[in-house]
Amino acid sequence: MRLANKTALITGGNSGIGLATARLVLAEGARVAIVGRNKKTLDAAAEMLGSDVVAIQADVTDVEATEHAVATTAERFGKLDVVFANAGIAGASPLGETSLAAFEQIICTVDRQCVAAQQAIHFAAQGVLAGAQAQVRGTEVQTEGRAITRN
């Protein structure tokens, strides 16, 4: 198990890529905190994932809520090794028809997740490098999370 005795925080961990990542990280031996806005899907995901998971309801665009999620993870598990900045905005609009407000919400969601990575460094046992990116593909703006741990 490559992640035995590691702790991971996954934003957007209550569905989609984040939930799939939580499953994989757990299978590799890590303890996991999943963060999401929707309490119903968050609780369902946590129940499905099992006892090595803590579910934290938070909106990553709220800096205080994100800081609380990071601190809660570190308090629960004693440290934090990985941040997977994955939260995104569901929905699609054709390129050129996306309102400025919608585009700003997407960018805010991506940018504010960097707060989680920054806060995590304080709690990191061995260091964390994390980030998020946004890219345009065809007529969609897609956000992706990524994280790298150092040994």
Q: What is the pLDDT of residue 22?
A: 96
Q: What is the pLDDT of residues 15-56, one digit of tens each?
A: 999 999 999 999 999 999 999 999 999 999 999 999 889 999
Burial of 23 (0-12, 13-18, 19+ CB in 10 A): middle
Most confident of 52-56, 88-92, 122-126: 52-56
pTM of the model: 0.77
Q: What is the mean pLDDT of the chain?
A: 79
Q: Grade residue 144 by pLDDT with cuts at 50, 70 and 90.
A: very low
Q: What is the CA radius of gyration of the chain?
A: 15
> What is the architecture of the domain spanning 7-149?
3-Layer(aba) Sandwich (3.40)
> What residues contact 88, with CB distance under 8 A and at least 6 apart?
12, 106, 109, 110, 142, 143
Domain ranges of the chain: 7-149
